[in-house]
Structure 1
């Protein structure tokens, strides 16, 4: 109950803070899109581009856990993840708050879950993150980004959303349940490495985690039918 209350507090408090206390929206918010329509390349700070892209990385990281988890839930995980593509963390939090703890996986893995379950998914996300981080560090104007963070509501909210993604990844039982489904229930050291290293801890986990294990009932069913 406390876990869910904390999640709902963020779900309500974050947009309230953004609309009431964050810096105002800049007047020329759509200027980059207008520049593109005019056939020109807009001038956008590489730090902003990298941050925006890393929000997408976070959504895919969560997808690697929520889609297999959704197989065992009454909630349609895909609907929340599609919503997160438009609203970011605000569509993901209700799933985290409403899902029930479950440490098993049953049924066949479809093509999408097979890809999300593969180390290749984690490797691609890790390489993409390193590229974005290098792009921001080498070409970005960090002092200008700090000024924009203090004066632009959109950049301000997006930056805070990035840190909320980091904060919530280990907090609900989503991560611990995923580890249990893979036979990692007692590996507390790995859990804390993933939990305490922002972004790269989850990426490391996606790269090294073993594949999903079938539930015991399925294992007995397959063994009894002679399937090896």
Structure 2
């Protein structure tokens, strides 16, 4: 119960800060989003390009985790995972507040779960993320990024969203490892603390789900 209340409190504070206290919107925000979405990156700070695209990787990471974590939950994990593509941690925090501990996978894997938990999916996500990490660090302008972080709500909140998604991931790790018979492997407990990279390493190396003969309830 304390954890649930904590997640609700974080969600409320995060939302209030993002929409009330964060820096104001800039007139060119919509144009920037359009350019980032269409691949028209010329003249845009590479760090912002990288961050925007990495924020598209995180929902896939959480989809890979929630595919099995959602089995047996009272709330539809797929809904929160889907909405995270639009709103990131703003939609995932309520799931964390509503979910119950789930160390056992009940039933058989569906094709979707099999695809999302495949190591090849993790490897593919890692390859894409690695490209944008290299692109951002090799070509980015940190002084400009800091200036935009201080003056643009879009950049400011997107950065905080990235940090929040990084911090939330370890909360799913224990149950996911238990569902795979990996609870004694402490390596991943530490590696998951590394923002983004730790989650990707885990997806690439985690063991397969242990399927139960019991019929799934959800």
TM-score by structure 2 length?
A: 0.90
Structure 1: state its 5+ residue gaps.
Answer: 222-228
Is 2:103–2:178's contact at 8 Å kept on the other side of the alignment? yes
Tell me how large the CA RMSD over aligned residues is.
Answer: 2.0
Rg: which structure is higher? Answer: 1
* Cα pair distance change 1:139/1:91, threshold 3 Å: same
TM-score by structure 1 length?
A: 0.86
Deviations 1:21-76 (A, max 9, x none): 2111102222246779xxx8763222111101111111111111101111221211
- Who is 2:69 aligned against? 69
User: What displacement does 1:10 show?
Assistant: 1.5
Is 1:179–1:185's contact at 8 Å kept on the other side of the alignment? yes
1:197 aligns with 2:205: no
Alignment of 1:1-228 (within 5 A): 1-32=1-32, 43-170=43-170, 172=171, 174-194=172-192, 196-215=193-212, 218=213
User: What displacement does 1:84 show?
Assistant: 1.1
Is 2:61–2:199's contact at 8 Å kept on the other side of the alignment? yes
* Cα pair distance change 1:76/1:34, threshold 3 Å: closer
Give, in whole Å, the separation in 2 of the partners of 1:84 and 1:34.
19
Give, in whole Å, the separation in 1 of the partners of 2:14 and 2:175.
26
**Pairs aligned (count):** 212
Give, in whole Å, the separation in 1 of the partners of 2:111 and 2:35.
39
Give, in whole Å, the separation in 2 of the partners of 1:33 and 1:169.
26
Give, in whole Å, the separation in 2 of the partners of 1:129 and 1:197.
14
- Who is 1:224 aligned against? none
User: What displacement does 1:187 show?
Assistant: 2.0
Deviations 1:113-157 (A, max 9, x none): 111111111111111111001111122222111110010011000
Give, in whole Å, the separation in 2 of the partners of 1:178 and 1:168.
14
Give, in whole Å, the separation in 1 of the partners of 2:126 and 2:41.
28
Runs of 4+ aligned structure 1 residues displaced above 4 Å come to 33-36
Structure 2: state its 5+ residue gaps.
Answer: none
